Chains A and B, each alone.
Chain A
């Protein structure tokens, strides 16, 4: 993958994102990848003069993730998207749609997760999303 990848934890994420801003990087976007039933990767892509740099945060699904929108305001849209599609919870979001950027209030599934559902429904798991979409 083009560019350096720096592993960060929830406690160092905002500091690293702020440092990227000080160094002149702009936030390109965030990518969320489900690794298994328990964990996800969030990649924060930054660009400076057409060179990419990435922060990689690996977190358990139930763990709240600190928002970087206080430092990179434009992150709020991508973070809200991840909240909707992967059921993660970001703390300190500049604009928090509370899981309704794409989804309706009553939706309980996380459409982009293969294994998991929203925190509030942990005791009543939804059907596996893959099966629902017709895959064997």
Chain B
């Protein structure tokens, strides 16, 4: 059988961001996949040399719009550790609430795009319609829909009033009902199962060995979620990672679907236990030392390595995003699959090229 090399991307209908895969195929079966990155690499880590450590919050929020809040939490957490700043408890709970809102809207965005990738456009519309309500909550509580910019070193710059909490609770009730209404279609539909079950298999040992993270890891049966470390206020909430064991596209889809409901539960718990008090600790001085800090983004584990030497600029800021970690796993899923399954398998890791090309 002749081998043919087919370029997939960097422009592709199902991928709004540029990534290129060099696919070697025999007949229409994939035998090898090699990625090309760097089409829009921005070198944001290097900006730590030019912006002071407070200004860097605005920079890291722009690594990725969809999970900007969680990038900022990770960064602030690292700086707070270096400066030994104790964040007020209320701020920790507020960070959880806005982080989980980001997780829900990211997963709803992905569920819609995933449905679109196999031609289910009405389902795409339904998921994005629900997502709008989350964006409305973001806008009403922070002033922005996507990059909400509430984090500062030492806490958060906004608070939730009683009226806002009451409104958020009623909205979440409706959102939960709306999501559950789509469960049967998303997880039981014949066409969806036909396109996803058994596609892009990744076993639990492979997932661990290849450093997979997030729903890609948990869809293969590994119950690891950085929220288990109890950062921010997660340690005070009842939380179990969502796990599926089949390791295929369908399992990853089920993990994300169930995680939207788990996030709603976490927000409800955080609101119920929201302590009174300050939302921000005054910060003096400059960071010094080195640290590694991790949080759980919608796509998986996010790691920041921060090194500071007591100056206003950091000595080094290293950002390892979840999509970067999931690329080796993706390259393992593709061989043996049909060419027509590639868009679905690539989307199943929820690739964020904005994060990868930080």
Residues of A within 8 A of B (CB): 1-3, 21, 26-29, 31-34, 43, 45, 49-50, 52, 54, 72-74, 76-78, 84, 95, 101-103, 111-112, 114, 130, 133-135
| B43, closest chain A residue (CB) | A111
Do A112 and B290 touch across chains, with their CB atoms under 8 A apart?
Answer: no
Q: Does B281 contact A (CB under 8 A)?
A: no
Interface centre among A31, A45, A54, A135 (most CB of B within 10 A): A31
Q: Does B333 contact A (CB under 8 A)?
A: no
Q: How many angstroms between the C-alpha atoms of A79 and B85 in the bound complex? A: 34
Knowing that A76-B328, A111-B43 touch, tell me 6 more A-B residue pairs with CB under 8 angstroms: A28-B325, A29-B325, A31-B320, A32-B318, A45-B305, A45-B320
Do A112 and B328 touch across chains, with their CB atoms under 8 A apart?
Answer: no
Q: What residues of chain A lie closer than 8 Å to B316, measured between beta carbons?
A: 31, 33-34
Q: What are the interface flags for B182-220 relative to A under an 8 Å C-beta threshold, 1 for contact and 0 otherwise?
A: 000000000000000000000000001111000000000
Q: How many angstroms between the C-alpha atoms of A21 and B289 in the bound complex? A: 28
CB<8 Å pairs between A and B, sample of 5: A28-B320, A33-B316, A74-B209, A77-B324, A77-B328
Query: B29-44: which residues lie under 8 A (CB-CB) from chain A?
Result: 34, 36-38, 41, 43
Query: B84-127: which residues lie under 8 A (CB-CB) from chain A?
Result: none
Do A102 and B38 touch across chains, with their CB atoms under 8 A apart?
Answer: yes
| B38, closest chain A residue (CB) | A102
Q: What residues of chain B lie closer than 8 Å to A133, measured between beta carbons?
A: 46, 49-50
A112 in complex: contacting residue of B38, B46, B301, B324, CB < 8 Å: B46
Q: How many angstroms between the C-alpha atoms of A78 and B356 in the bound complex? A: 11
Q: How many angstroms between the C-alpha atoms of A89 and B214 in the bound complex? A: 31
| B46, closest chain A residue (CB) | A112
Do A29 and B303 touch across chains, with their CB atoms under 8 A apart?
Answer: yes
B228 in complex: contacting residue of A50, A103, A135, CB < 8 Å: A50
Do A134 and B46 touch across chains, with their CB atoms under 8 A apart?
Answer: no
Q: Does B45 contact A (CB under 8 A)?
A: yes
Q: What residues of chain A lie closer than 8 Å to B293, measured between beta carbons?
A: 2
How far in angstroms is the closest Cβ of chain B from A132?
11
Given A33-B316, A52-B292, is A28 in contact with B301 using a C-beta cutoff of 8 Å?
A: yes
Do B291 and A73 touch across chains, with their CB atoms under 8 A apart?
Answer: no
Judged by DSSP, the binding face of B is: mixed
Given A77-B327, A95-B34, A101-B37, is A26 in contact with B43 using a C-beta cutoff of 8 Å?
A: no
Q: How many angstroms between the C-alpha atoms of A134 and B226 in the bound complex? A: 38
Do B291 and A74 touch across chains, with their CB atoms under 8 A apart?
Answer: no
B292 in complex: contacting residue of A34, A45, A74, CB < 8 Å: A45
Do B211 and A27 touch across chains, with their CB atoms under 8 A apart?
Answer: yes
Q: How many angstroms between the C-alpha atoms of A31 and B324 in the bound complex? A: 13
Q: What residues of chain B lie closer than 8 Å to A111, measured between beta carbons?
A: 43, 46
Given A1-B292, A43-B305, is A26 in contact with B46 using a C-beta cutoff of 8 Å?
A: no
The bracket for how many chain B residues form the interface is 35 or more
Q: How many angstroms between the C-alpha atoms of A1 and B308 in the bound complex? A: 12
Interface centre among B38, B43, B211, B224 (most CB of A within 10 A): B211
Do A26 and B228 touch across chains, with their CB atoms under 8 A apart?
Answer: no
| B301, closest chain A residue (CB) | A28
Q: How many angstroms between the C-alpha atoms of A21 and B38 in the bound complex? A: 29
Interface centre among A1, A32, A49, A114 (most CB of B within 10 A): A1
Q: Does B229 contact A (CB under 8 A)?
A: yes
| A95, closest chain B residue (CB) | B34
Q: What residues of chain A lie closer than 8 Å to B307, measured between beta carbons?
A: 33
Nearest 7 CB-CB pairs, A to B?
A102-B38, A74-B328, A29-B320, A31-B318, A31-B305, A74-B211, A33-B316
Q: How many angstroms between the C-alpha atoms of A28 and B293 in the bound complex? A: 12
A50 in complex: contacting residue of B43, B209, B224, CB < 8 Å: B224
Do A1 and B224 touch across chains, with their CB atoms under 8 A apart?
Answer: no
Q: Does B265 contact A (CB under 8 A)?
A: no
Do B292 and A50 touch across chains, with their CB atoms under 8 A apart?
Answer: no
How far in angstroms is the closest Cβ of chain A from B224?
7
Q: Does B341 contact A (CB under 8 A)?
A: no
Q: What residues of chain A lie closer than 8 Å to B327, measured between beta carbons?
A: 77
Q: How many angstroms between the C-alpha atoms of A45 and B23 in the bound complex? A: 30
Q: How many angstroms between the C-alpha atoms of A74 and B325 in the bound complex? A: 8
Q: What residues of chain A lie closer than 8 Å to B34, measured between beta carbons?
A: 95
Do B292 and A130 touch across chains, with their CB atoms under 8 A apart?
Answer: no
How far in angstroms is the closest Cβ of chain B from A84?
8
Q: What residues of chain B lie closer than 8 Å to A54, measured between beta carbons?
A: 292
How far in angstroms is the closest Cβ of chain B from A67?
14
Do A50 and B318 touch across chains, with their CB atoms under 8 A apart?
Answer: no
Q: Does B246 contact A (CB under 8 A)?
A: no
